[in-house]
Structure 1
Amino acid sequence: MNVVRIRRELLEYLLELARDFYPNEFAGFLREKNGVFEEVLLAPNPHFGTTSAFFDLWMLPYDENIKGTVHSHPSPSPWPSRADLHFFSKFGGVHLIIAYPFTEDDVRAYLSNGNPVRIEVVD
């Protein structure tokens, strides 16, 4: 995979969530439809802190359309931490990180192995 596609409305909503949760992180799961990320699902029973986000994966509904994750970094670093890479390796798919100050330029996408992927925003 060389590129991940995301609907503009979803990206704008994710940026808004990152700003609203600041200075804490937020995290969610991305639903894909026809090769484009269209929706975010916030996990049940979340704990969003200043350095991490936790949730109960066992409470997620079975959904074949969940193809990725998203979380924010309340710092300007868009790079995955060791904990991020560990989570990526367990969950699979594409993983978005939205770094402070939470603009479109502060969003990065990674594969499960931590390799970056280009983001294409679609209308």
Structure 2
Amino acid sequence: MKVRIRRELLEYLLQLARNAYPNEFAGFLREKDGIFEEVLIAPNPHAGPRSIFFDTWMLPYDESIKGTVHSHPSPAPWPSEGDLEFFSKFGGVHLIIAWPFTEDSVRAYSSDGVELPIEVVD
């Protein structure tokens, strides 16, 4: 499986990560025709440098949400145990954007933590 994401969305996510630094940010990815095109920012987040918490009950019912994204304000793009637990509850695809928040520091994972290739679509 390859993760396909619009360049415009990827650039926006990188900017969100930079703006949130030194804290994490989180969001939910909307997919259309097999390509991630939009992000829904996590509602009412409580963000810190090592974690972010939000009430998932505040999310709208939205069948186009097929993945999640969050930042790591460190150069480690690998999922933590907490990330893997979260991934297992939401399924789909999960992006982690690590510091220094460049295209090269973005990783995609399946719900069981297996790294997936990313294709940026113009």
TM-score by length of 1: 0.98
Query: Which residue matches 2:41?
Result: 42
1:82-104 deviation per Cα after TM superposition (whole angstroms, max 9, x unaligned): 00000001111100000000000
Deviation at 1:48, TM superposition (A): 1.2
Deviation at 1:44, TM superposition (A): 1.4
Query: Which residue matches 1:4?
Result: 3
Which amino acid letter does the alignment assign opposite residue 84 of structure 1? D
Query: Which residue matches 1:108?
Result: 107
Deviation at 1:122, TM superposition (A): 0.1
> How far apart are the structure 2 equivalents of 1:85 and 1:44?
21
Which amino acid letter does the alignment assign opposite residue 12 of structure 1? E
RMSD: 0.5
> How far apart are the structure 2 equivalents of 1:4 and 1:113?
15
Query: Which residue matches 1:61?
Result: 60
Unaligned runs of 5+ in 2: none
Which amino acid letter does the alignment assign opposite residue 58 of structure 1? W
Query: Which residue matches 1:32?
Result: 31
Which amino acid letter does the alignment assign opposite residue 117 of structure 2? R
**Counterparts in 2 of 1:66-85, with a 5 A limit?**
66-85=65-84
Query: Which residue matches 2:22?
Result: 23
> How far apart are the structure 2 equivalents of 1:57 and 1:104?
28
> How far apart are the structure 2 equivalents of 1:101 and 1:45?
25
Unaligned runs of 5+ in 1: none
> How far apart are the structure 1 equivalents of 2:13 and 2:107?
12
TM-score by length of 2: 0.99
- What is the aligned-residue identity percentage? 79
User: Number of paired residues?
Assistant: 122
Deviation at 1:117, TM superposition (A): 0.4
Which amino acid letter does the alignment assign opposite residue 109 of structure 1? A
Deviation at 1:26, TM superposition (A): 0.3
